Amino acid sequence: MENEPRYLLVGSVIVAVALAMVLGLVWLSGGNRIDYVHYTIYFRNQSVDGLDVSSPVKLRGVKVGEVTDYAFVTGAQEAVQVNIKVEPGTPLQTGCRATVQRSIVTGLATIEIDNPKTKSPLIQATDSPPWPVIAEGSSNFEKVTTNLTQMSEQASQALNNINQVLGAHNQQMFAQTLENLHTLSAQLVAHKQILYDSLRSVQSAADALKQASDHISVTSTHLDEQMGQLSQDATTTLKQTTQTLSSVQQQSVVVTQSLQNLIGTADYQMKQLGSDVHQDSQVIKETGQRLSDPGELLFSGHTANRAPGE
């Protein structure tokens, strides 16, 4: 009888603890369902290999949520629809991008979200589907994979080219070239004295050409000096000629004035001589008229006019 209250107390405690645990689980599950913010991402260019339900979702390397589910989208642009949930208060801005980051060691993938460099407004969350869409970004791992693929293709092409270069025909041509080089080297050794003499002849010709060049340089310098002296003499002669022409011009002006004076004097004298000749001709004419009538000359009481000079 004494143990019954003790059993009742222990049972009551156990029931209370179990009830508290059930209530805590219900509260936690209800809180998660209400507080998480849901988004949708469509991956068209990136592989989701290694991505699974409950895979982490990170923002700047910090886990802010997880993947809830994913499905295939068919149509004009096939894609993988991935739904995620993130903690409330996570600052996802408009224009953010989501990429799949994969661990090289484990192969497990996570979703990395990057906000734009410029500050943008936050994405408006909704309480029911369709959820806001986060655009797909460009994964560095995918870039590296693409570059490695391109490098492997280029390396394969280079190996094919090398195989073509090292083919049987090219190997034969290469062997023939080596043989020709061997023959050429043997001929050069056999005719090395001739080559040495030829090189000495070329050296002698080069020396002669250098001497000729030096002589031409000296001649050019001397010619420049003579041309300078000739130019100076020509300048002096031109000055003297200019002075002589100036003197001749002055003398010609004097001669011209003298000729003008002489012509004026001669013209006056010619006019005077003409006047005298005209007067003499009048006297001779009158005398001739008188001499033509002797009677008048003899019996005239007048004395005949004397000619000038009589």
pLDDT class of 4 with cuts at 50, 70, 90: low
Residues 6 or more apart in contact with residue 103 via CB below 8 angstroms:
50, 109
Residue 121 has pLDDT above 50, yes or no: yes
Lowest mean pLDDT among 177-186, 238-247, 250-259: 250-259
CA distances from 185 to 35, 80, 173, 202, 258 (A): 88, 70, 18, 22, 101
Does some domain include residue 268?
Answer: no
Report d(CA 59, CA 86) in Å as an integer: 10
Does some domain include residue 198?
Answer: no
Does some domain include residue 57?
Answer: yes
What pLDDT, on a 0 to 100 scale, did the predictor assign at position 103?
87
Does some domain include residue 51?
Answer: yes
Of the chain, the percentage scoring pLDDT greater than 70 comes to 85
Residue 309 has pLDDT above 60, yes or no: no
Q: Check if the beta carbon of residue 68 is closer than 8 Å to that of residue 30.
A: no
Count Cβ atoms below 10 Å from residue 269 Cβ, excluding itself. 10
Biggest CA-to-CA distance, the chain: 236
Residue 303 has pLDDT above 60, yes or no: no
Does some domain include residue 113?
Answer: yes
What pLDDT, on a 0 to 100 scale, did the predictor assign at position 48?
92
Of the chain, the percentage scoring pLDDT greater than 90 comes to 26
What pLDDT, on a 0 to 100 scale, did the predictor assign at position 22?
85
Report d(CA 118, CA 103) in Å as an integer: 29
pLDDT class of 292 with cuts at 50, 70, 90: low
Mean pLDDT of the chain: 81
What pLDDT, on a 0 to 100 scale, did the predictor assign at position 2?
56
pLDDT in tens, 129-155: 999 999 999 876 666 767 777 888 888
Does some domain include residue 148?
Answer: no
Does some domain include residue 177?
Answer: no
Report d(CA 101, CA 1) in Å as an integer: 67
Q: How many domains does the chain have?
A: 1
Lowest mean pLDDT among 211-225, 229-243, 244-258: 244-258
Residue 52 has pLDDT above 90, yes or no: yes
Q: Check if the beta carbon of residue 55 is closer than 8 Å to that of residue 108.
A: yes
Mean pLDDT score, 16-36: 75
pLDDT in tens, 76-88: 788 999 999 999 9
Does some domain include residue 12?
Answer: no
> In sequence order, what DSSP letters do the residues of 50-111 get, joined into one string?
T--TT-EEEETTEEEEEEEEEEEE-SSS-EEEEEEEE-TT--PBTT-EEEEEE-TTT--EEE
Lowest mean pLDDT among 7-11, 70-74, 205-209: 7-11
Range of the domain at 39: 34-138
Report d(CA 124, CA 132) in Å as an integer: 7
